[in-house]
Structure 1
C-alpha cells in the first residue's frame, strides 16, 4: 500500500452528496456547507470558483476542482454575477432572503438547476464528514486545486455523469465508489505535477529508502518498529535513516509512526463493534492501557471519549444502532429535489 492509497483507505465516501447541476446564465451560488472536501467536475460549458479569500479559477469542460473546507466560496457563470442561491450545512439551499429552492428547481434524479437544456453542466461530489485518517491528506491540499482536462485522462467523469442520474438498486454504493475513483485520479495527477508543493509523505514514497520504510509503516503498523529495525529492513544505518527521513518527511520516523498509528486508531474506533483492546492490537500498542495513554497525550481525550463523540456525530448509538439525523431539511443523494451545488 502506498502513501496516497493508505490515506484514502479509511475514509471512503459513504452516502456522499452527489448532484448534477444544469445551469444557464446568469447564475451564482454561495457555498456555506462547510464540508471538508468537495469535488466539482465540469461536463459542459464553464464555471468560476472563487474563494472568499480572493483566489479564483475558471473551469471548462473536463476540468476538475478539489475544494477543501470548511471555508465558504462561490461558484458562478462569471466572477461578477451576484449570488442568487445559498447552500447551507446539510445541503439545504435557499435564496439570499431565505426562501427554499429545493423543489422549485428540481429537474430529476440527483439533478437540479434552472434549465433542462443548460449551457453548463457540473457534477458535484461532497465528502460531508472528515475521517480521521484523511486529516493528513486534507492538510496537504491547498484550499483550491484545479486539474485541467489536458493534464489527466480520466474516464471516470463521463461514467459518473451517466450513473449519477440512475435510481437503481445499489446505486448509492456505485456512486460512492465512482466518487472515490475520481478523487484518487485527480489527487494523483495534482501531486505528480511539476511545481506542486506535494506533502513530504508523497515525495518520500518516491525515494527508494524512505519509500520502503513508509510502506512498512503503512502496511504493518502493528509491528514493534524501532528506528534500528526500520533501518535494517531498508539496508541503511540508523543515523542515515533518521536524517533522510526527517529531511524528506519533515519529522523523525518514530513521530511519524506514532501519528499514523493514532490516526488509524481514531478511525477504527468509529466502528461501533470495535473495542479499545482490539484496536490497540491492530495499531501496534500492547494493550488498551498503552493506547489510551498515548491517545490522551496526543489528542487530549481517551479513546472511549473519542469514539462516543464520533458515533454521535454520525448518528450512531454505542450499540451500533443508527439514529435519525437532527438536521432539518437535509437532502439525500437519491432525492430528486436535492439542492444545488
Structure 2
C-alpha cells in the first residue's frame, strides 16, 4: 500500500516561489516567509541551516534540505553569522546592497543576493499558500531533513536550476509542478533510507493493520467503527485497536478522522461543492460535523479554508 502517495495526493503548489541567491563570504539570510515547507539546495558552496528551535545542520553541494515551517530559519556560511537580510512572503528575494541603494539591480530572473558576485549559489523553493499537506506527514518530519548528494536524481536538480532562470509562457505552472516533483522525490528517498526515522505509518509491518488502512483509504465515507473494521480484517476489536495503535501511533478512528479531513480540504480547494456536500462525501453527516472536525485539525473552518485557497489562487493567476 502506497501511504506516501495517498498523503501527498492533495499536495499541489500554486504560485510556488523560487529564487537563486548569490552569496559571498560572511553571508547569512533569515527566511521568515511563513511557508509550510521549503526545499533548499546548494548548487555551489556549502551552507549551514539553523531552525528556530534546533541545532545548525550542514548542507553541501547537491544536498537537498526540506524545512518544515512556518517557524523562521537562518541560512548562512557560518551558524554564528548574523542575518544580513530577512526574506519574507512579501519579498521572497534577498536584495543586493547596490540594489537597495541604487534601485533594482538585475541579476537575472529570480536571482538575488547579498553581493553582486559570490562563490555560493543557493536555490530555494517554497509552498507559498495552502497546500493541504497532511498533518500526519508534517508531524512526522523533523524541522530540517537532509537528503545527501547522489541519493536524489541529479537530472532533476539540473532541470530545476535551469527552469528557475527562465521566464517563458506557462513558467509558473512549470515551477509549481517541479516543486511538487522535487518534494515527492526527496521525501521518497528520505523515508526509504534505512537510517531514516521514518514514521510508523509509512511501513506498517502488520498485515492486519495494512488491510485496515487500505479499507479506510478506499472507502473513507463508510461508517466505519473499530468493530466493523476488525470484522473485515479478521481480528477482534481489541486486537485491531492495540495493533493499529502500536504500528501507526494512533487509534484507527483518529487515523480515519485525519484522512477524512484531509480529503475534505482537497475537495474544498479543488471543487465548488458545498460544505454539506463535501461533508457527506468524506463520511460526515452534515456541514456542522465536518466543521467541528476540520477546525480541530486545521484551526479554521472549512469556509475559511476555501476562502484562503481562493485568495492564493487569485494571487498566483
Name the TM tier (shorter chain): 0.7 to 0.9
Q: Residue 185 of structure 1 aligns with which residue?
A: 185
Structure 2, unaligned stretches of length 5 or more?
none
Q: Residue 172 of structure 1 aligns with which residue?
A: 172
Pair 1:77 & 2:77 matched? yes
Change (3 A) 1:75 1:25: same
Range with greater deviation from structure 2 (217-226 or 232-241): 232-241
Pair 1:307 & 2:302 matched? yes
Secondary structure (helix, strand or coil) at the match of 1:109 reads coil
For residues 10-37 of structure 1, the C-alpha deviation after alignment (integer angstroms, 9 at most, x for no partner) is 1311111111222232321111222211
Pair 1:131 & 2:131 matched? yes
> Within 1, Cα distance between the matches of 2:52 and 2:106?
28
Aligned-pair CA distance for 1:233: 4.2
Change (3 A) 1:297 1:5: closer
Pair 1:209 & 2:208 matched? yes
Aligned-pair CA distance for 1:196: 3.1
Change (3 A) 1:213 1:90: farther
Change (3 A) 1:164 1:219: farther
Q: Residue 241 of structure 1 aligns with which residue?
A: 240
Change (3 A) 1:102 1:278: farther
If the length of structure 2 is used for normalisation, what is the TM-score? Answer: 0.85
> Within 2, Cα distance between the matches of 1:216 and 1:48?
44
For residues 263-320 of structure 1, the C-alpha deviation after alignment (integer angstroms, 9 at most, x for no partner) is 32233224461212321232123x4x2x52253256269x9x7233224434549xxx
Conserved 8 A contact 1:94-1:100: no
If the length of structure 1 is used for normalisation, what is the TM-score? Answer: 0.80
Change (3 A) 1:149 1:209: farther
> Within 1, Cα distance between the matches of 2:133 and 2:82?
38
Change (3 A) 1:241 1:277: same
Q: Residue 15 of structure 1 aligns with which residue?
A: 15
RMSD: 3.2
Counting only pairs closer than 5 Å after superposition, residues 98-177 of structure 1 correspond to structure 2 as 104-113=104-113, 118-177=118-177
Secondary structure (helix, strand or coil) at the match of 2:107 reads strand
> Within 2, Cα distance between the matches of 1:207 and 1:300?
29
> Within 2, Cα distance between the matches of 1:298 and 1:171?
34
> Within 2, Cα distance between the matches of 1:27 and 1:71?
21
Report 1 or 2 for greater relative contact order, CA contacts < 8 Å, sequence distance ≥ 6: 1
Secondary structure (helix, strand or coil) at the match of 2:58 reads strand
Conserved 8 A contact 1:272-1:311: no
Q: Residue 52 of structure 2 aligns with which residue?
A: 52
Change (3 A) 1:86 1:100: farther
Counting only pairs closer than 5 Å after superposition, residues 210-289 of structure 1 correspond to structure 2 as 210-271=209-270, 273-285=272-284, 287=285, 289=286
Q: How many residues align?
A: 315
Pair 1:293 & 2:292 matched? no
Secondary structure (helix, strand or coil) at the match of 1:198 reads coil
Aligned-pair CA distance for 1:114: 5.1
Conserved 8 A contact 1:93-1:100: no
Conserved 8 A contact 1:200-1:250: yes
Secondary structure (helix, strand or coil) at the match of 1:269 reads helix
Change (3 A) 1:193 1:313: same
Secondary structure (helix, strand or coil) at the match of 2:202 reads helix
For residues 236-280 of structure 1, the C-alpha deviation after alignment (integer angstroms, 9 at most, x for no partner) is 444432221111112221221122112322332244612123212
Conserved 8 A contact 2:216-2:256: yes
Conserved 8 A contact 2:19-2:111: yes
For residues 18-71 of structure 1, the C-alpha deviation after alignment (integer angstroms, 9 at most, x for no partner) is 112222323211112222111001122211111233411121111011111122
Aligned-pair CA distance for 1:138: 1.4
Change (3 A) 1:103 1:63: farther
Conserved 8 A contact 1:65-1:146: yes
Conserved 8 A contact 1:94-1:101: no
Structure 1, unaligned stretches of length 5 or more?
326-331, 334-341
